[in-house]
Chains A and B, each alone.
Chain A
Amino acid sequence: AQTVTQSQPEMSVQEAETVTLSCTYDTSESDYYLFWYKQPPSRQMILVIRQEAYKQQNATENRFSVNFQKAAKSFSLKISDSQLGDAAMYFCASHHSNYQLIWGAGTKLIIKP
């Protein structure tokens, strides 16, 4: 069965610092996608970054980057220069050939001013 695990229920970081959120997953498929989504208090789910499993290069989107370790089935999110607007729940998710997203339990990110 496909699973996604986020072992950090909550993380806090000082504004302008860097924080890394962890995610591990399990799948027997070779072709899949990995995502990080952000859900602020408004509950709107926002795509932060995506990674295609066949790509070795780590994805980056401005201040957000991932460390994708395919053999270890690890997919961590690094947020640089943290801003107050980054405060939210962050969900790691995987997408497979059965058309569904498998979600982690989420990590609550707190930004300290």
Chain B
Amino acid sequence: KAGVTQTPRYLIKTRGQQVTLSCSPISGHRSVSWYQQTPGQGLQFLFEYFSETQRNKGNFPGRFSGRQFSNSRSEMNVSTLELGDSALYLCASSLDGRTPREQYFGPGTRLTVT
């Protein structure tokens, strides 16, 4: 069974640009969560999607948005990039997200904003 895949793995953007990151969950998993990891703030929850519906959102500005498609693949978008958005963005998938017996993580996308 293929694991969680994230594309791209590395990205360099300029302040003010926008970026879209993609996450493909493990086959059969319907819940996808996104996390931001930075040295200063640690790991922070961005949002969680299940069956194309956002069920919860973390405390991030509206510049951070996401969506999930009917095949459970998810994308997150960050508009008007700021230097502080430089981080490792991790996505995780699980069967339904409510009872996470197993939550599998992708390798992450390293975003650098210059």
Contacts and interface: CB of A to CB of B under 8 A. Distances in A.
Interface string B23-54: 00000000101010000001111001010000
B56 A99 contact: yes
Contact of A100 (B50, B56, B88): B56
Contact of B97 (A37, A99, A105, A106): A99
With most chain B CB atoms within 10 A of its CB, the pick from A91, A103, A106 is A103
B101 interface: yes
A108 interface: no
Interface residues of A, number: 23
30 contacts: A33-B99, A33-B100, A37-B105, A44-B107, A44-B108, A45-B105, A47-B102, A47-B103, A47-B104, A50-B100, A50-B102, A91-B43, A95-B100, A95-B103, A97-B98, A98-B56, A99-B50, A99-B56, A99-B97, A100-B33, A100-B45, A100-B48, A100-B56, A101-B33, A101-B100, A101-B103, A102-B45, A103-B42, A103-B43, A103-B44
Lowest 4 CB-CB distances: which A-B pairs, in order? A45-B105, A103-B43, A100-B45, A99-B48
